[in-house]
């Protein structure tokens, strides 16, 4: 479709709307490196919302007539319908989503379309579009994190009493409960959700009306457009308005931290599914087989979640490198802000959905976990604590006595509970038979009743607290 003779997006000779001082069209390579419609068309909804709010404001302050505003709104609504129906003609010749919309508006309503760009620039236009997109992505991600937390809470509540080994250095340390272990991730993902909420609140200022960099001589009402687009207020400095991308960096930082937490849980799922551990099972819904080894059941979903963390970490670095040397205000480098941000949140969306599904899908092997909970003399600290509580030993002395008991048990090939009372009393004569009450993994876990501890009672209390908070 050719542009009408009075198309405001074209200058003499068919040059682009910014071509008044140019006599030659951009070369093919320049066009190829300059065009962004292939990826920024994802901002179509945000661009239309910003244009509608801007047109309404221009009419309200008397910059354009009511008839012009009505024609613009009608044309924008038709474009919105065309995009929804998949019939909108996205064209590379118009470079980006902003000029594609304006060119199509000119085709629909004629020269009146040119009035829409009064008192704004593509600089503030893209800034407000991108802020809206990132703001919505933060809100959506926080909601997904709450879904993941609910899946973890359901499993934690169901297995609040299930014993498993707690690890440090991936070596058996002390018995914990499976519910307690899962609740650790509830806390992590809760902090992630709060980071996205904080980032969203900080970025919720509208740059629309900052124009190219210096503001506008027209009597515009930036507070009105900010309200119309759901922002708390307009940005306070026109230079900062068009040149800031720290809102995207902050969102990407939150995304990268979240992806790191997802990767840690994914790694544990991979480990737990190995025959050497055998702690959990996943159904066929989240595993794959081997093309050559028929016995294999691979935790590919977890492995892919683990790998996608690299994309998110890279996205933050990529945008930080783009921004680090730019003087104020806008530079074309900033066109490179969108692709890493879009790709990062796409990867995070998929990772959160996959992890939520895996958590709901997994089934622990409670017997295998309980058996492993007592490995590696995991109740040694309980013996040391008993010596402190019952016999009033300084902890360092109790630690030394316990070390001797571990060495004796290791020599005999038994666990601490397998040592006889005589053998324990040979190490420390004042030890009594009451010590056996703390030497089993179940007794160890049940005794950890301090706030935030692994005792089943504490796990259930934390589950209840989080249920209330998420409700």
Does the annotation mark 169 as catalytic?
Answer: yes
- pLDDT digit string, tens, across residues 175-204: 999 999 999 999 999 999 999 999 999 999
Collect all residues with Cβ–Cβ distance below 8 Å to 296 and sequence separation of at least 6.
Answer: 289, 290
* pLDDT beyond 60 at 10: no
CA distance 391 to 162: 31
Q: Tell me: cis bond preceding 329? Omega within 30 of 0 counts.
A: yes
Which entry of 77, 194, 290, 420 is annotated as an active-site residue? 290
* Residues of the chain above pLDDT 90, percent: 80
Residue range 7-26: mean pLDDT, rounded: 53
Q: Which is nearest to 347 in space by CA: 216, 454, 256?
A: 256
Contact 59, 68 (CB under 8 A): yes
Q: Which is nearest to 180 in space by CA: 429, 471, 450, 470?
A: 450
CA distance 461 to 43: 44
Does the annotation mark 36 as catalytic?
Answer: no
- pLDDT digit string, tens, across residues 390-430: 899 999 999 999 999 999 989 999 888 888 999 999 999 99
Q: Which is nearest to 155 in space by CA: 179, 176, 188, 187?
A: 179
Q: For residue 327, what is the DSSP state?
A: P
* pLDDT beyond 50 at 44: yes
């Amino acid at each position: 479709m050719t542009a009408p003779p009075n198309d405001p997006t074209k200058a003499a000779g068919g040059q682009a709307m910014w071509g008044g001082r140019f006599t030659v069209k951009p070369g093919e390579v320049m066009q190829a490196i300059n065009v962004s419609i292939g990826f920024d068309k994802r901002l179509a909804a945000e661009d239309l919302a910003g244009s509608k709010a801007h047109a309404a404001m221009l009419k309200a302050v008397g910059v354009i007539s009511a008839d012009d505003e009505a024609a613009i709104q009608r044309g924008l609504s038709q474009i919105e319908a065309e995009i929804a129906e998949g019939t909108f003609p996205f064209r590379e010749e118009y470079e980006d989503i902003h000029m594609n919309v304006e060119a199509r508006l000119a085709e629909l309503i004629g020269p009146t379309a040119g009035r829409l760009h009064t008192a704004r620039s593509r600089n503030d236009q893209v800034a407000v579009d991108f802020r809206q997109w990132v703001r919505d992505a933060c809100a959506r991600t926080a909601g997904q994190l709450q879904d993941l937390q609910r899946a973890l809470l359901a499993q934690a509540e169901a297995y609040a009493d299930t014993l498993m080994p707690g690890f440090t250095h991936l070596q058996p340390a002390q018995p914990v409960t499976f519910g307690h272990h899962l609740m650790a991730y509830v806390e992590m993902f809760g902090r992630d959700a709060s980071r996205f909420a904080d980032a969203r609140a900080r970025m919720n200022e509208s740059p629309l009306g900052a124009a190219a960099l210096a503001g506008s001589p027209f009597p515009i009402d930036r507070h009105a457009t900010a309200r119309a687009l759901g922002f708390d207020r307009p940005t306070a400095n026109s230079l900062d308005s068009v040149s800031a991308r720290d809102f995207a960096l902050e969102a990407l930082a939150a995304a990268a931290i979240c992806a790191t937490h997802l990767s840690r849980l994914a790694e544990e799922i991979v480990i737990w599914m190995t025959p050497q551990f055998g702690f959990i099972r996943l159904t066929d819904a989240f595993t794959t087989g081997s093309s050559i080894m028929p016995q294999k059941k691979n935790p590919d979903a977890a492995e892919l979640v683990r790998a996608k963390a690299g994309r998110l970490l890279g996205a933050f670095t990529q945008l930080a490198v783009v921004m680090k040397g730019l003087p104020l205000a806008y530079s074309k480098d900033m066109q490179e802000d969108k692709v890493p941000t879009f790709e990062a949140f796409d990867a995070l969306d998929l990772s959160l959905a996959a992890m939520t599904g895996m958590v709901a899908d997994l089934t622990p092997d409670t017997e295998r976990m309980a058996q492993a909970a007592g490995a590696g003399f995991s109740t040694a600290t309980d013996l040391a604590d008993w010596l402190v509580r019952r016999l009033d030993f300084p902890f360092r002395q109790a630690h030394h006595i316990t070390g001797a008991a571990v060495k004796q048990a290791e020599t005999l090939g038994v666990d601490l509970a397998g040592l006889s009372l005589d053998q324990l009393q040979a190490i420390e004569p004042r030890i009594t038979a009451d010590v056996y009450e703390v030497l089993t993994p179940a007794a160890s876990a049940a005794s950890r009743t301090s706030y935030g501890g692994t005792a089943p009672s504490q796990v259930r209390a934390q589950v209840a607290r989080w249920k209330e908070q998420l409700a």
